[in-house]
């Protein structure tokens, strides 16, 4: 069951919002609900991504290759390549 929420907003802002949403076939309530779902969904995705990264950390195979900052910088100095 839904929970009621009371907001205080500028009348003109609310009216303009209603007009834009009406043109899109939506209500203010629907838009607010969807916005809340996006907020929560983002957090859920972040948690899922962090769990995946923790699970897979150290699982790669570099075949002995190690990062070398100087070699990488030297490569950049050769740009643009002919």
Residue range 54-63, pLDDT digits in tens: 888 877 777 7
- Matching residue, tokens 């923790």: 54
pLDDT digits (tens, 9 = 90+) for 2-54: 899 999 999 999 999 999 999 999 999 999 999 988 887 777 788 888 899 88
- Cα separation, 47 vs 40, in Å, equals 11
Q: Which of 2 and 1 is assigned the larger pLDDT? A: 2
How much is the pLDDT for 32? 94
pTM equals 0.51
- Cα separation, 54 vs 75, in Å, equals 32
The token duo for 1 is 């069951």
């Amino acid at each position: 069951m839904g929970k009621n929420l009371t907001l205080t907003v500028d009348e003109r802002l609310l009216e303009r919002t209603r007009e834009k949403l009406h043109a899109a076939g939506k209500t203010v309530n629907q838009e607010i609900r969807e916005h809340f779902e996006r907020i929560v969904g983002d957090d859920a995705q972040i948690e899922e991504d962090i769990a995946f990264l923790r699970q897979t950390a150290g699982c790669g195979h570099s075949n002995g290759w190690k990062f070398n900052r100087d070699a990488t910088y030297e490569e950049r100095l050769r740009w643009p390549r002919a």
